[in-house]
Amino acid sequence: MTLAARLLSLGRSVGFAVVLLVILLAVNLILSPGRFQPGSWGALVGLAAPLIGAAIASTPVILAGRGGIDISVGPLMGFVNAFAIQVLFLGAGISSPLVLVPATLLVGALVGAANGFLATVVRIQPIVATLGTYLILTGVTLTILPAPIGPAPAWLKALSGPLSLLPLAAMFIAWWLVRRTPYYDQLMAVGSDDRAAYTAGVDVTRVRFIAYVMTGIFSGCAGLMLTALIGSADPNIGPTYTLIAIAAVALGGVSLAGGRGGVAGAAIGAIDIFLLQSVLTTFNVSTFVLQIAYGAILVLAVMLTALQERFAMRGR
Amino acid sequence: MATGRNLFATTNARVVGAFFVAAVLHLAGTVLIPGYSSPFAVRAMLVLASLLAVASIGQTLVVIMGGIDLSIPFVIGFANVVAAQLYGDGWNFFLVCGLVGVLALVIGGLNGLISRSLDIQPLIVTLGIGMVVQGLVLLWTAGFPSGSAPQAVSNFVSIGGSAGPLPVPWLVPSLVVLAALVVLVLERTPYGRRLYALGSNPGAAPLALIDPVRMWVITYAASAFFAAVAGVLLLGFTGSAYGDVGQPYLFQTIAAVVVGGAALVGGRGSYLGTIAGVLVLTEINTLLIGLGFQPSAVQAALGFIIVLLVSLYGRERHVSTTI
Amino acid sequence: MADHTAPGLAARDLVIAPGASAITQTIAPGEIVGLAGLDGHGQELFLKMLAGLASPLGGSIEFGAPGASRKITGFRKAVASGIAYLPRDRRANGIFPTQSVLDNFAVSTLSRDTRLGLISPAARKARYDIYREKLSIVAPRPDAPITTLSGGNQQKVLLARALALEPAILLLNDPTRGVDVATRHVLYDVFRGLAAEGMGLVILSSEIEEILLLCQRVLVFRENEVAAEIADERLTADSVIAAMFGRAA
């Protein structure tokens, strides 16, 4: 694929998400100029950061195809949150980012490796394997942290506003580096047709395993962003991110069948969802209406994406 | 090719294996916990298992077809609240059930129609539709549902109830009959055979005169219908309406289906297997609570055991054997 | 030359690609018509249009006696009118791998075995046995998954599925692809037998030998048009190859 063709296909797959982004941004600016004035952009980015992180984290395993999905992303974020504050910061008194950051990323990598082991070596269907880790992580988190507790180290809290761009940028750079390796091509090949990739000599198991580890590391990072945002540890928030993150990924043009899309699309999908929540909040409607609109727009958005794709196929 | 024959053998082996695990768990419980096999405890387990089994009918059908239904917990909650509310407002209960059933069929049909005709992942569609349904119910009741179930429904599911000479409520024998019907439909009707064929190879289905959209609409409608039945039964079980009553069933129905030997890629699975999976899950839950675990620890252990069980007999084939 | 007014499956002024000239052909009962051409020159598209699987850009497909013919506008209509189609890619569009040989055989004709809405295994097995004998299918256990059979026997089961529809016209898309030589000859005999019983057959094949062996008449496709219609004694490997490459024979 040439670069132009690749850009074209990227535009086609995330096209709708970008259009939605522009519309939602405009609506937000009109409805609540105060909330969206340039001065508060930093705070807004901070609010959106954990969801964007969760969406990016969910992407690699989905790209790897054959039902690849990690529903333990949310609980892993919650576990990282509890582990960093309750165990490391409050328990062991460690506050240095030089320890906390590597430790949480390592936790993420280990959980990702466990998921990868179950899904690719033991070969349990990914949704079941990660459902297992989902339940284990939620249970363990509630065991080590039965109730919310605070605070977070000052440097971590400082990452909540405009500075939340730092971890996000780190994730993007990491993915950008991955894209420059041969591994990326193998990942996309395995995602679109694992039989063909296998016949072509790609170690399908290894490629998928690494995707799970990447998802784990990214989830660890997203867990840190969540910790920064709430400035404390809360065992109940993490799991709520899972399904929304997957919805964001789908919205961002990443095919849940694998092999198509990327983290940029996933991030745009996440921003869409965040802006949507923001629009609905400004109407000051009850949370019930919020939920209705939210579900309806989610379905409509994937429907429109599908229709647009169909149209693009026909136009070819 | 030997792989195909193994596949056939393992499909049945998975079901037998799941029943075996349930039996072993029950034996372990009886040894470890006094009163685990007492009549009351067994009856309670049978009732809980029956409720989960009803909620899992739809998930079984949908998974065989190659889909997944995340709207089940929301539809359970919807039926639970709407039935209680309308019955509390003085409606005739049969009318209430009819209305709830029809609405559930519409919700499910919509799930299937949107997912298949536009070729969208049912994961997202059923989640979105489920959220809308739950939101509408919350809006209607302003978040505080009221009402209750008629006494007859409570008796039907009551742990202390009896069905004629049987020491179990009518729910249990009814479920046995229902299960036999579901198995019959899957094994011996054109619909059942088409369902397996569609899940087995969606690309070949239209050439074999199977209409995928029609099948998806029917099957998702059935899934929502049985979720609604579970919702009404739960109303009788808990006594009062609660919108989130279905939430535990989201992962439990999927786990039951998978522990019972179905493949989420479609074409494989059976309702008998799901029943075995339901028994396994119920035994694990009861056993762990009986051993004095906290709910959070029960959850963690449940996750661990699901993974362990599925790794014992629910493994997928390596890509090299599928070429 | 075929008589264009005889009863049969008729393509009338059929345009299969933009700018290509129209095709008018009739497949008469009892004849075996071959479709040849270099890959992607329209022969497969033509076959799919005959089956109602692709919509023509112009013209129509009609089936039946003149004056009483039905327009074929879709696959279901085609099947209902008595046209059966055997797809090319067995794995992608043919078999249901997790399902048994019997299931794979009966899937298109399920309602024929039902008694009060339930499938009678005995009726299904009896129906299967007819075709097992006719096609000499080697399947030690018909209730085992179809993937336990050899490629040739899988193909025979798929052919049995199509024949179970009791069609008047059988459309075959490269029916011997990936099938061993012994099985091929069994299939050839079956095809000839079906034609002798009055069935019209259209065979798309990538092997000229096969077409020469089976067909009385061949349509050679080039650039989405029928470049040549070769029949009877003029039908030789040289004449077909020449037409495929656009040279006068």
Chosen domain end from C103, C136, C166? C166
Model confidence at A16: pLDDT above 80: no
- Give the residue on A whose Cα is nearest the Cα of B115: A303
Work out how many domains chain A is built from and give that number: 1
Q: How many helices (H) and strands (E) does chain B have?
A: 12, 0
pLDDT computed for residue C64 by the predictor: 82
Is C42 found in the same domain as C110? no
B5: confidence class by pLDDT, cuts 50, 70, 90: very low
What pLDDT score was predicted for residue C47? 95
Q: What is the DSSP letter of A118?
A: I
**Residue C184 and residue C158 in one domain:** no
Contact B9/C at CB under 8 A: no
Contact C/B (≥3 CB pairs under 8 Å): yes
| A71-108 pLDDT tens trace | 899 999 999 999 999 999 999 999 899 999 999 999 99
User: pLDDT tens digits, residue range A196-220?
Assistant: 999 999 999 999 999 999 999 999 9
Split at pLDDT 50, 70, 90, the class of A225 is very high
CA-wise closest residue to C2 among C36, C47, C32, C44: C32
C230 pLDDT higher than 60: yes
Q: Which of A73-77, A303-307, C221-225 has the lowest mean pLDDT?
A: A303-307
Please state the domain count of chain C. 2
Q: Do residue B314 and residue A124 have CB atoms under 8 angstroms apart? A: yes
Percent of chain C whose pLDDT exceeds 70: 96
The pLDDT of C101-124, averaged and rounded, is: 92
Residues in chain A within 8 Å Cβ distance of B129: 295, 299
| CA neighbor of B281 nearest in space, from A193, A278, A132 | A132
Q: List CB contacts (< 8 A) between B207 and chain C.
A: 75, 85, 87, 93-94
Of B6 and B150, the one with more pLDDT: B150
> Between chains, do A291 and B123 touch, taking CB under 8 Å as contact?
no
What pLDDT digit, counting tens, does each position of A147-170 carry? Answer: 999 899 999 999 888 899 999 999
Interface test with B, best of A302, A304, A305 (most B CBs within 10 A): A302
* B242-270: average pLDDT: 85
For the cut 50, the answer to whether the pLDDT of residue B2 exceeds it is no
Whether pLDDT at A248 is above 80: yes
C6 in a domain, yes or no?
Answer: yes
If phi > 0 it is left, if psi is from -120 to 50 it is alpha, else beta; for residue C42 that is: left
pLDDT band at B144 (very low <50, low <70, confident <90, very high): confident
Predicted confidence (pLDDT) at residue B198 exceeds the cutoff of 90: yes
Test C161 with B189 for CB contact under 8 angstroms.
no
Give the residue from B185, B200, B264 with the most C CB atoms within 10 Å of its CB, the best one to mutate.
B200
Residue of A nearest to B295 (CA): A139
C171 shares a domain with C158: no
Residues of B in contact with C105 (CB under 8 A): none
The CATH number covering residue A208 comes to 1.10.3470
Mean pLDDT of B56-73: 94
Taking a C-beta distance cutoff of 8 angstroms, is the pair B107, B75 a contact? yes
Residue contact C108–B203, C-beta within 8 A: no
In a domain, A105, yes or no: yes
For chain C, positions 79-108, list CB contacts with chain B under 8 A. 79, 85, 87, 92-100, 103, 106-108
Map out the domains of chain B as residue ranges.
Answer: 15-314
Query: Looking at the predicted structure, is the pLDDT value of residue B8 above 60?
Result: no
Indicate whether B252 pLDDT > 70.
Answer: yes
Average pLDDT over residues C37-46: 91
CA distance B38 to B44: 10
Nearest CB to B200: which of C99, C106, C144? C99
Is the predicted pLDDT of residue B130 greater than 90, yes or no?
yes
Distance CA A169, CA C179 (A): 56
What would the two tokens of residue A257 be? Answer: 């069948």
Domain membership of residue C88 (yes or no) is no
Peptide bond into A151 cis (omega under 30): yes
Minimum-distance CB partner of B267 among C98, C118, C119: C98
CB pairs under 8 A between B and C: 83
Assess whether pLDDT exceeds 60 at residue B10. Answer: no
What percent of chain C lies above the pLDDT cut of 90?
57
Nearest CA in chain B to C75: B207
Domain boundary among C166, C199, C226: C166
Whether pLDDT at B33 is above 90: yes
Cβ contact (<8 Å) for C98 and B7? yes
Asked whether residue A23 is assigned to any structural domain, the reply reads: no
Is residue A203 less than 8 Å (CB to CB) from chain B? no
Q: Is residue A308 pLDDT above 90, yes or no? A: no
Q: Which of B1, B197, B204 sits opposite C103 (nearest CB)?
A: B197
C67 vs B252, residue with greater confidence: B252
Q: Say yes or no to pLDDT of B317 above 80.
A: no
Say yes or no: C32 and C67 in one domain: yes
Whether the pLDDT of residue C2 is over 50: the answer is: no
- Note the pLDDT of residue B143: 81
Q: Which pLDDT belongs to residue B1?
A: 34
The tokens describing B229, both together, are: 């039945």
Stretch 139-168 of chain B: residues touching chain C, C-beta under 8 Å: none
Closest Cβ–Cβ partner in A205, A295, A306 for B118: A306
CA distance A315 to A231: 50
Residues C125 and C176 in one domain: no
If contacts are CB pairs under 8 Å, which of residues 208-247 in chain B contact chain C?
208-210
Across the beta sheet with C169-173, the strand order is C83-86, C169-173, C200-204, C32-37, C217-222, C225-231
Q: Which of B1, B199, B210 sits opposite C147 (nearest CB)?
A: B1
Residue A1 reports pLDDT greater than 60: no
Cα–Cα distance for residue pair A276/A291, rounded to 1 Å = 11
CA distance C230 to C58: 24
Higher pLDDT, residue B317 or A135: A135
Mean pLDDT value across residues B132-140: 92
Q: Does any domain span residue C65?
A: yes
Residue A10: its pLDDT value, please?
A: 58
Say if C and A touch: at least 3 Cβ pairs within 8 Å.
no
Model pLDDT for residues C128-173, shown as the tens digit of each residue? 999 999 999 998 889 999 999 988 899 999 999 999 999 999 999 9
The residue of chain B nearest to residue C120, with distances taken between CA atoms, is B188
- Complete DSSP assignment for B93-115: HHHHHHHHHHHHHHHHHHHHHHH
d(CA A231, CA B120): 38
Q: How far is A96 from chain B (nearest CA, A)?
A: 30
Look up tokens 């340039």; give the residue: A38
Taking contacts as CB-CB distances below 8 angstroms, the residues of chain C near B189 are 114, 117-119
Answer whether residue A21 is part of any domain.
no
Position A129 pLDDT exceeds 80: yes
Local confidence band at A19 (pLDDT 50, 70, 90 cut-offs): confident
Residue-number span of the structural domain to which C155 is assigned: 95-166
Any residues with CB less than 8 A from the CB of B174 and at least 6 apart, and which? B156
Q: Is C146 on the interface with B (CB under 8 A)?
A: yes
Q: Is the pLDDT of residue A312 over 70?
A: no
Q: Do C158 and C201 sit in the same domain of this protein?
A: no
Pair (C172, C249) in one structural domain: yes
Q: Distance, in angstroms, between A293 CA and closest chain B CA?
A: 7
Residue A57 domain boundaries: 43-307
Q: Is the pLDDT of residue A11 over 80?
A: no
Task: Determine which of A296-305, B131-140, C40-49 has the lowest per-residue pLDDT on average.
Answer: A296-305
**B57 pLDDT more than 90:** yes
pLDDT value at A282 more than 50: yes
Smallest CA–CA distance, residue A40 to chain B, in Å, is: 30
pLDDT of residue C90: 86
Is residue A9 a part of any domain in this protein? no
Please report whether residue C89 resides in a domain. no
- Asked whether residue A287 is assigned to any structural domain, the reply reads yes
Mean pLDDT of chain C: 89
Given CA atoms B38, B44, B46, B52 in this order, what sign does their dihedral have? negative
Any idea which residue has 């024929």 for tokens? Answer: C112
Which of these CATH numbers, 1.10.3470, 1.10.8, 2.50.20, 1.10.150, describes B15-314? 1.10.3470
**Mean confidence (pLDDT) of chain B:** 89
C146 contacts on B by Cβ (under 8 Å): 4
CATH number at residue C178: 3.40.50.300
CB contact under 8 A, A298 and B128: yes
Specify burial of residue A213 (Cβ count, 10 A radius: 0-12, 13-18, 19+): buried
C52 belongs to a structural domain: yes
pLDDT mean over C90-106 = 92
Final residue of a domain: which of C131, C166, C201?
C166
User: Is the Cβ of A133 closer than 8 Å to some Cβ of chain B?
Assistant: yes
Chain B residue with the nearest C-alpha to that of C53: B207
User: Can you tell me the mean pLDDT for B136-160?
Assistant: 89
Is the confidence at residue B319, as pLDDT, over 80? no
Confidence class for position B164, pLDDT limits 50, 70, 90: confident
Residue C4 clears pLDDT 60, i.e. is over it: no
User: Which residues, 6+ apart, have CB-to-CB distance to A27 below 8 Å?
Assistant: A279
Cβ of B206 within 8 Å of Cβ of C75? The answer is: yes
Burial of B323 (0-12, 13-18, 19+ CB in 10 A): exposed
Task: Say yes or no: B4 contacts chain C, CB-CB below 8 A.
Answer: yes
Q: What is the average pLDDT across C98-106?
A: 93
Over range A46-52, report the average pLDDT.
93
Task: Return the pLDDT at A316.
Answer: 46
Q: What share of chain B has pLDDT > 90, as a percent?
A: 59
